[in-house]
Amino acid sequence: MIPFADYIQSIKLVRGGAASFAKDTVSFSKNKDGLLQEEGVNIPRRYYRGGYISYMSETDSTNYYKYSSEFGESTHLKTGTVIVTEDEEIAPNGKLESDKLMPLTEGSSSRFIQQNISSLPIGEFTFSVYAKFKGERYVRLVYARNSSPYTVYGEAVFDLVDGTILSNVSGQARIEDSGNGWYRISVTGTSTVSSNLFRISLGDTATEAGSVEDGVLLWGGQVEESHSATSHIVTGSSSASRGNDEFTIGVSEDDITHFAVYYNLNLDDVGDESSRVSFTSGTSSNNIQVRSQPNGTSIRIVVQMDGELFSDYVDVGNYNNDIKIAFSFSDNIMNVSLGGEIVSSNTFTNISFGGFTKIINAGNSVTDDSTRFSGLINEVMYFPMTLSDAEINYITKN
């Protein structure tokens, strides 16, 4: 599977099987112009990085932040010092939907917009928004308990000129360049109550002086139960959800003794080992998996041959880079290459796998959202032959 094809149905396979894709909701791709592009139901989502194209794969998620791009709505509580000018400039989706947040006075004051959300599940949440410099350089995000003692779960200040995190007070802060001067900024923390506040403040302190001409552009607010921000989910007067992406490539092999599998992936930091890509028979008896890890710096490789389990952990540095990994088998001997070198080997007791039926972006079943791969799928290849160490090192070399 190479995502340069216009449609996943046009992918050519070496041996048998068909490629399929399923998604039951509208969601966003990132197109060749760097803009977010809305995709309909059952349309594969592509992510362009210059001339490089990947497929997007995410689990389902819910955005609890209402009126995600309509900051003039009364749901967004504004202090007496803040005003929003609606539909100011082109937003990250290429439409005239961004709103301008700016102070009303020159004097020292609190300048923020806030949404209070009750009845949330208790757990880890990420609060994110797209922001663009419009005179005010610094923006502060706060995710906190909405009652005494107002415990802060996530707080950070972002520099919209340099595109950096100025300070990370609590929780985990992230900033991502979204093109055309836009940045997606976020804080992640773990709440202990179900009623919380989500605040966007102007300036690098809670109270400071500022010019009435200074402000920021906002679009795409999101509050979701996740370890990091996922692709944007549009909301109106209520919360909204995005369905997961399901990829399947059918492979008809009943008795595999000499073959190789290659994955080129870019993993999201999901904070656990639930994110997986698998070459599988549909059961745990025959499986070749790459799994995420809670530390966000290593991967786990899991190979099960007729129920015989091999597992290893490989350091990849971080999840910001593409990971190229290949498994090559000759009878019961396996060699694994990552980044152009052999990183793991094993000799199994069994002679061969019992059979495979598919490559999927999950664990044993493409419908298992609890093991849904979260990240970018750059390439997936199956070779009906053993590849030498030199060959697998060549294809995994960065």
In the chain, where are the structural domains located? 8-60+244-396, 62-240
pLDDT of residue 173: 98
Residue 267: pLDDT over 50 = yes
Residue 93: pLDDT over 50 = yes
CATH architecture of 8-60+244-396: Sandwich (2.60)
pLDDT tier at 11, thresholds 50, 70, 90:
very low
Q: CB neighbours (10 Å) of residue 247?
A: 24
Residue 385 has phi, psi (to 5 degrees) of -165, 155
Contacts 24+ apart (CB under 8 A), 20-26: 20/246, 20/247, 20/248, 20/250, 21/245, 21/246, 21/247, 21/248, 22/245, 22/246, 22/366, 23/243, 23/244, 23/245, 23/246, 24/243, 25/241, 25/242, 25/243
Strands 61-63 and 52-57: unpaired
Which of 206-220, 232-246, 296-310, 326-340 bottoms out in mean pLDDT, i.e. has the lowest? 206-220
Tens digit of pLDDT for each residue in 27-70? 999 998 899 999 999 988 999 988 789 999 999 999 999 999 99
Decide: 134 and 161 in contact? Cβ < 8 Å: no
Pick the CATH number of 62-240 from 2.60.120.260, 3.40.1160.10, 2.60.120.40, 3.40.50.720: 2.60.120.260
Question: Comparing 8-60+244-396 with 62-240, is the CATH topology the same?
Answer: yes
Residue 196: burial class (beta carbons within 10 Å; 0-12, 13-18, 19+): buried
Q: How many CA atoms lie within 13 A of 376 on its CB side?
A: 20
pLDDT tier at 84, thresholds 50, 70, 90:
confident
